[in-house]
A and B are shown apart, each in its own frame.
Chain A
Amino acid sequence: MPLLRELQAVFGEALLGGPTEAAAAQILEDGLRPQARLDVYRHHVFTTLTAALQATYPVVCRLVHERFFGYAADQYIRADPPAGPCLFEYGSSFPAFLADFEPCRHLQYLPDVARLEWALNTATHAEQSAALDPVVLSQLPVEDLPGLTLRLDPSLSLLRSPWPIDQIWRVNQPEGGPDATVDLGSGGVSLEVRQMGDHAVFRPLDRAIYAFRGALRRGDCLAEAADVALETNGAFDLPQALRNLFAEQLPVDYEVSSKGPEHG
């Protein structure tokens, strides 16, 4: 009899599609082959994890059809099984997996659609943060404003694709008809995804606004973020962009950057 730690290691291997002999050797036959008993467990592990991926990536599943999705999920689960028990947190690397998965390499938009679905999943489960009252800005000394950093709503994701992934997502909703088409040549999008009320939503952003919010999200201060946006579009209007940011309740906290290293 191996130690429990060893027994669990060989079971883990067997249940994720690896060799089963070592695990089977520890099981009583009881009228049924030990491998068949292990299969009951293995089947459950794969079907429930596939269902979890399907729940997070319903549009990807619809685009490639359920059978192919099951095949891709099976390969993905073997390659990158979950590290924790919250299934809504499982599958963050599925878009990258799809990008490298030879049988669907020709569907070049697929990984970006998957990224959009992951962003929606993240937004759905994000903790709500109270919006920052814009009045705090008016109380700051004017000279502090350029060095101000704003922390944005943690449910926010920004993603850009050369494909019209927003249209692809929309026509592949359950209520969408089977004949709806998207012109893949209609160009790319810059999308903002976040939690609104009880739902996750997305919308396209103007490229300069996208660049501005992306820079703020990275932790750039206002002056740096405005520079990034101006590089994208020389007509970028910082005061208006700030007003919109607060009207949409995106900032949740702020910090005035200090020069030099921080001490405690």
Chain B
Amino acid sequence: MTGGDADVAGVPAAAGIGLRAPHVQEVITTRPPIAWLEVHAENYLGGGPALRRLDHLRPEYPISLHGVGLSLGSAIGLDERHLQRLAALIERIEPVLVSEHLSWSVTGGVYLNHLLPLPYTEESLEIVCRHVDQAQVTLGRQILVENAASYLRFRHSPIPEPEFLAELVRRTGCGLLCDVNNIYVSAHNLGFDAVAYVDALPREFVCEIHVAGHARNDADGLTILIDDHGSRVSPEVWSLYAHAVTRLGPVATLVEWDTDIPALDVLLAEASVADGLLYRARPRTPHAATA
């Protein structure tokens, strides 16, 4: 599987939306013209009615499965039971993409419900590579790994994040999910150049892009951007996105919205903005970009 301008294994290089509980019934009833849908894996691991409702949508929309709980960066190892449940869910819903995060959430048997940052060291790289290998073997497929938003830097973290991701791709054969909002948020919070970050990613392995809104919080008089997925995508993030698709080629793009979830129409309107920018990126990117 490669990124670039081609459709990736059944995912169109077009905009999709994150399907959240308040919209499920409306999407089933109205069948909006959207290229694909992404769901959070952890909301479907119980089976039951949620999964049956998703079954109504599967014939019509490619489904991408986005995990938040695998904790690829946990030093104590992956939760084998969770991995097996994911494998069963993948077998059941046959998603076109499966993705997770470059982060950790589990320590000492406790799940911290946050995508926590890793120090980018050789030790972390070995741990994450081992877990991506384990996940790809157990799930029987390639996974995409997403850059998380960050609010701190470690004293000792010698490898730049894009370089860490590129090395992860090289060693494991995983793909990348480039979250443009997360890059923008982290760049602001940690003071790096967002455009240079995008330019440093191994473009042929970026198979999906995320965009979302963020909040601005005051912390001790300093503005911290929070990746809260609770508003429209900001103009600055759309601008970074336009740069990303120009460089990476048209890549399947997801609009995420998780807090203060708006009417479905608002989400669809955001997706059409992404579609417009994807369309504009096409002519400038020769079709052989992934060769």
Cβ of A251 to closest chain B Cβ, rounded Å: 19
Residue B134 is within 8 A (CB to CB) of chain A in the complex:
no
Residue B124 is within 8 A (CB to CB) of chain A in the complex:
yes
Cβ of A76 to closest chain B Cβ, rounded Å: 14
Residue A89 is within 8 A (CB to CB) of chain B in the complex:
yes
The one of B48, B71, B190, B224 in contact with A127, judged by C-beta atoms closer than 8 angstroms, is B48
Q: A27, B219: Cβ atoms under 8 Å?
A: no
Interfacial residues of chain B within 79-138, with CB under 8 A of chain A in the complex: 79, 81-82, 104-105, 107-114, 116, 118-119, 121, 123-124, 127
- Which chain A residues border B112 with CB–CB below 8 Å? 12, 15-16, 45, 81
Stretch in contact with the other chain, from A28-36, A97-105, A181-189, A228-236: A28-36
CA–CA, A37 and B116, complex, Å: 12
Cβ of A123 to closest chain B Cβ, rounded Å: 9
Stretch in contact with the other chain, from B8-16, B152-160, B195-203, B239-247: B152-160
CA–CA, A81 and B109, complex, Å: 9
Name which residue of chain B comes closest to A49, CB basis.
B113
Residues of B in contact with A, size category:
35 or more
Give a binary string over A1-42; 1 marks a CB under 8 Å from any B CB, 0 the rest. Answer: 101110111011001100000000111101111101111110
CA–CA, A30 and B111, complex, Å: 28
Cβ of A24 to closest chain B Cβ, rounded Å: 10
Cβ of B128 to closest chain A Cβ, rounded Å: 10
- The answer to whether residues A26 and B155 also contact, given A8-B75, A126-B46 and a CB cut-off of 8 A, is yes
The one of A27, A37, A125 in contact with B155, judged by C-beta atoms closer than 8 angstroms, is A27
CA–CA, A1 and B43, complex, Å: 36
The one of A40, A83, A195 in contact with B111, judged by C-beta atoms closer than 8 angstroms, is A83
- Which chain A residues border B190 with CB–CB below 8 Å? 30
Residue B220 is within 8 A (CB to CB) of chain A in the complex:
yes
Q: B46, A85: Cβ atoms under 8 Å?
A: no
Give a binary string over B42-53; 1 marks a CB under 8 Å from any A CB, 0 the rest. Answer: 110111111011
Q: A36, B113: Cβ atoms under 8 Å?
A: no
Residue A109 is within 8 A (CB to CB) of chain B in the complex:
no
Q: A4, B118: Cβ atoms under 8 Å?
A: yes
- Which chain A residues border B104 with CB–CB below 8 Å? 8
CA–CA, A221 and B156, complex, Å: 63
Residue B1 is within 8 A (CB to CB) of chain A in the complex:
no
Question: Told that A12-B112, A37-B152, A198-B53 touch, could you supply 12 new A-B pairs with CB distance under 8 A?
Answer: A4-B118, A8-B116, A26-B154, A39-B219, A82-B113, A83-B110, A83-B111, A85-B42, A85-B111, A86-B43, A125-B46, A198-B49
A–B complex contacts, Cβ < 8 Å, 7 sampled: A4-B119, A16-B112, A41-B116, A48-B114, A81-B110, A81-B111, A82-B113
Interface residues of B, Cβ cutoff 8 Å to A: 42-43, 45-50, 52-53, 68-71, 73-76, 79, 81-82, 104-105, 107-114, 116, 118-119, 121, 123-124, 127, 151-156, 190-191, 217, 219-220, 222, 224, 226
Interface residues of A, Cβ cutoff 8 Å to B: 1, 3-5, 7-9, 11-12, 15-16, 25-28, 30-34, 36-41, 44-45, 48-49, 52, 81-89, 124-128, 155, 195, 197-199
